Amino acid sequence: MKILVIGGSGLVGSNCLSHFASQPGMEVMGTYFSYPASNTEYFDTLNIDNPENADIESFDPDVIMHCGALTHVDKCETEVEESYDKTVRSTLNVIELCKAYDARMLYVSTDYVFDGKDGPYDENAEVNPLSVYGKHKLEAEQLVLNKVPGSVVIRITNVYGDEERNKNFVTRIAEACVKGETLELKLPVDQYATPVNAADVAKALFLLARDGKSGIYNIAGVDFLNRVELVEKILSFFPNNKITFQSVTTAELGQPASRPLMGGLKTDKFMGEYPDFVFSTVNDYLRDFKEKANI
Ligand SMILES: NC(=O)c1ccc[n+]([C@@H]2O[C@H](COP(=O)([O-])OP(=O)(O)OC[C@H]3O[C@@H](n4cnc5c(N)ncnc54)[C@H](OP(=O)(O)O)[C@@H]3O)[C@@H](O)[C@H]2O)c1
């Protein structure tokens, strides 16, 4: 099976690229846009005819995974057109690629399609996005499911894990602890989610792609935490850290985009089909992180 990972330089995409490549019988190709990460070639989903783009035609993928989006939720709220382009229009272009190569699509979505009144959510829960980001992700999901038969939409939230740029929240805080950086954080105590390791997302996605699954699947870790609990967990691994935080409500934070407060995702559907799958925990990741940092 040949899988093209668009956004292979990002957190989710890079983990998928390395896991897929380690599986027997798999051929992978990964792309970047602004950050030329290892094993990636340039590709712009907003300009699919750019002659500088990677040669997808020669690769001729069976499956195309689309990880590209404007993921900065507050920026999406103020830059609506840019959000539409980078999330919806880019997905429309990837749909065209799927049609051209007769490929199935793996699309990566979010729990921000829900309003956060009563999470964690299962796949059949009623959607009601509160933010521009959530609305555009939902629109993209629906386009994929309607226009590319046999496609998979996975919903994830609060992803952490190994990545070249260490830009995800959990890793950034852990890294700041290791480096002895002084940080003063304001953390929303009322935003709950189910953080997931990108390495687990990659493993789960591989199974779904290999087994020709279709439709929506939640992929989430077993922790259900708010931001304060998440940071307390991280700091507990680094007793000499110089990080302090203030626990505030989301209303007090005044973020431009509304968040689903009681968010998070239930994985009963996925676990019902893959009962032997084990999702790792934030603690597992932090233990590994400390070991790699020789602490
Ligand atoms: N991280 C989370 O907690 C989370 C939660 C829910 C859903 N998601 C979804 O998961 C997906 C992946 O997120 P992530 O956390 O891995 O984000 P990320 O690390 O920012 O990765 C985004 C990827 O998209 C690429 N990209 C951006 N604009 C592009 C364009 N015009 N053409 C081609 N590629 C482009 C980026 O390339 P460069 O970096 O090289 O520019 C990068 O490889 C996104 O769709 C996001 O909405 C993420």
- In the predicted structure, residue 184 carries a pLDDT above the cut 90: yes
Q: Which of 4, 5, 12, 79 to mutate to test the pocket of ligand 1 (most atoms within 8 A of CB)?
A: 12
How far is Cα of residue 278 from the mean position of the Cα atoms in its chain? 18
**What predicted TM-score, i.e. pTM, was given to this entire model?**
0.97
244 contacts: CB under 8 Å, gap ≥ 6: 183, 184, 185
pLDDT band at residue 195 under the 50/70/90 scheme: very high
What sign does the CA torsion over 221, 222, 223, 226 have? positive
Q: Are 255 and 140 in contact (CB under 8 A)?
A: no
Domain 165-192+223-262+281-292, CATH:
3.90.25.10
pLDDT band at residue 295 under the 50/70/90 scheme: confident
- pLDDT value of residue 81: 98
- In the predicted structure, residue 35 carries a pLDDT above the cut 90: yes
**Does the Cβ of 32 fall within 6 Å of ligand 1?**
yes
- pLDDT value of residue 111: 98
Residue count of the chain = 295
Where in the sequence of the chain do the CATH 3.40.50.720 domains occur? 2-159+196-218
How far is Cα of residue 12 from the mean position of the Cα atoms in its chain? 5
Question: Burial letters for 244-259: b for 16+ Cβ neighbours within 10 Å, e otherwise?
Answer: ebebbebeeeeeebbb
Ligand 1 centre and the CA of 72: distance in Å? 10
Judged on CB neighbours under 10 Å (0-12, 13-18, 19+), 55 is: exposed
Q: Which of 9, 35, 259 to mutate to test the pocket of ligand 1 (most atoms within 8 A of CB)?
A: 9
Residue from 224, 217, 216 nearest 196 by CA: 224
**Does the Cβ of 216 fall within 6 Å of ligand 1?**
no
What sign does the CA torsion over 198, 203, 208, 210 have? positive
- pLDDT value of residue 214: 98
List helix spans (H) across the chain: 11-21, 56-59, 73-78, 80-83, 90-101, 132-147, 169-179, 198-210, 227-236, 250-253, 268-273, 282-292
Ligand 1 centre and the CA of 13: distance in Å? 8
**Does the Cβ of 86 fall within 6 Å of ligand 1?**
yes
Report the alpha-carbon distance of residue 7 to residue 270 in Å, rounded: 24
Report the alpha-carbon distance of residue 142 to residue 144 in Å, rounded: 5
- pLDDT value of residue 194: 98
What's the Rg (C-alpha) of the chain? 19
pLDDT band at residue 242 under the 50/70/90 scheme: very high
**Does the Cβ of 110 fall within 6 Å of ligand 1?**
yes
- pLDDT value of residue 121: 98
Q: Which atom of ligand 1 is nearest to the CA of 156?
A: 6
Ligand 1 centre and the CA of 295: distance in Å? 31
**Does the Cβ of 33 fall within 6 Å of ligand 1?**
yes
Domain 2-159+196-218, CATH:
3.40.50.720
Ligand 1 centre and the CA of 158: distance in Å? 13
Write out the H or E segment, with its range, that includes residue 152: strand 152-156
pLDDT band at residue 86 under the 50/70/90 scheme: very high
Where in the sequence of the chain do the CATH 3.90.25.10 domains occur? 165-192+223-262+281-292
Mean pLDDT of 164-181: 96
Structure tokens that stand for 62 in this block: 């069976």
Report the alpha-carbon distance of residue 220 to residue 197 in Å, rounded: 8
- pLDDT value of residue 262: 98
pLDDT band at residue 294 under the 50/70/90 scheme: confident
Q: Which of 35, 42, 71, 96 to mutate to test the pocket of ligand 1 (most atoms within 8 A of CB)?
A: 71
**Does the Cβ of 159 fall within 6 Å of ligand 1?**
yes
List, for residues 54-85, the tens digit of each pLDDT value: 999 999 999 999 999 999 999 999 999 999 99
Cβ neighbours of 167 (radius 10 Å): 12
- In the predicted structure, residue 8 carries a pLDDT above the cut 90: yes
